[in-house]
A and B are shown apart, each in its own frame.
Chain A
Amino acid sequence: MNAHSSVANETFDCRVAFSEKLIALAEADPRIVAVCNDSVGSSNLNAFRDRFPDRLINVGIAEQNMVGVAAGLANGGFIPFVCAAGPFLSGRATEQVKADVAYSNYGIVLCAMSPGMAYGELGPTHHSIEDISWMRAIDNLDVLVPADPEQTKAAMDWAVASGRPIYMRVGRHKVPSVTPADRDVAFTFGKIDVTGDGNDVALVATGTLVSRALEAADILKAEGISARVLNVSTIKPLDAETILKAARETKGLVVAEEGVLEGGLGAAVATTLAENHPAKARFLGVTGFAPTGSNDFLLEHFGLTAKGIADAARKLVG
């Protein structure tokens, strides 16, 4: 795929790739275990449980306990993949993530299932839109947001190999593949993947917003505006070099994410720009507790669409 082709039609729930990959990793490495909170079904762990009944630790509805148990497992030589709905993993167990995982420097992969507003009409209690800000604030915790199934799997490979404390979103909202066919690996830790070399505007997006940014680039191209798309799948540490290159080579950046603006990707980009190369930028995100509605309805509601991104880009170059 290049910047000027339309985004593929087929879409995927990243949890499917996640669970297949987890089984493959566990086949190869007996240290890998899954820890969850009555979330076997919602984390797509049924097949894992059937294959490795002893290596699935379901603690029940108890997220603080769940993350603490994972730390104990890591202390005992295991590599826990903690699988729970994003809002409860990041919100309920924040202090365990800080003290027991990051501060203690354990190789634990915290897998935030169904992040963003994937739980649409279940409402703000079930939306995981603050997670990136909360997790970014914790030292020694890498924050990953793979944008498609290929990236999800490649990020899991990296997670196991690195032995790092990691928070990773695993998307439920169906997304097309956004990984260009010519890439050797779908995910490189700490590197932004750039599609296109447009120098009017840079569209910086993460997760569900990446395919929408690619569509926005198509819309803009038809109007004679050239865009490049930056897929940020490592939110922390941020690839400042690629951000600054885009800032130098374009008239401005649009940053789009399925999360709050305070402390999210946009805030990370803004800090990098302000300190090194002040540039014009626009920030799109979730601006307030959502009203009732499906994930798609809410993305539309908050302007997190190809059109919303293109509109913001036009204002920058116009």
Chain B
Amino acid sequence: MARIVGGLTTSHIPAIGNAIARKMFEDPYWKPFFDGYPPVREWLDEVKPDVAVVIYNDHGLNFFLDKQPTFAIGAAPEYRNDDEGWGIPTIAPFKGDPAFSWHLIDNLVHDDFDLVTCQEMLVDHGFTVPMQLFWPNYADIGIKTVPLVINTVQHPLPSPRRCYNLGKSLGKAIESYPEDLKVVILGTGGLSHQLDGQRAGFINKTFDRMCMEKIVDDPEHFLDMSIRDLVVEAGAQGAEFILWLAMRGALTGKVTARHSNYHIPISNTASGLLCLENAA
């Protein structure tokens, strides 16, 4: 049977993709951020997951406002990255696992999560940046992926509770897959940041710290928050924290934080990194 080995969180902003392309790992501005990742990669080297389910939001590469799904999932053999308009180099495609994707779709829809299914799907920085951070050699090791998109572009967004419950169904669906797959779940985006309006540059260290702590042992703390509450506390784009909650919902066992890093700022964002182990 498939097993969920853990969950990872990381910010996914485009500036990171740019810094990776320019190999700025030792640059004084970037070093405190990049230094968080090697211990997580060591953990991944030990655990060797076969598949990564990547929970992210599309920022206007695959989806536009003509059709904006609340939840969408990839079911393709391969996922390509493409030009997002601002000059980050396009990177190598990612492997999919359509049979596993369809198993998840069957079970999630059965559980009342009516996802949009995508047999073709371009993956933007929300997906590619975390993959590059955790598996710089992803193309060589051939780790398989399932992209899971949650709308954080156009309000109304799904509530924290809804996203957490989606995660719970996702966890159950994964663990009912008959193949012996080791699965890791990525919750990407966040933490506090706001790009738009006179409130641009808003960061809330106190709230972020609480998120980093409570998501480990007490994720249900957030379930009565509204999206508006999240925007107030974490900034307009800090609402991406719902992506972390979806990840956390899928961890069904005993959860232990193996590594964490919190750093302000990268670009306009407070970056949060967590490596959560999920013991049976």
Judge: A and B partners, yes or no.
no
Binding site for A on B (CB under 8 A): none
Binding site for B on A (CB under 8 A): none
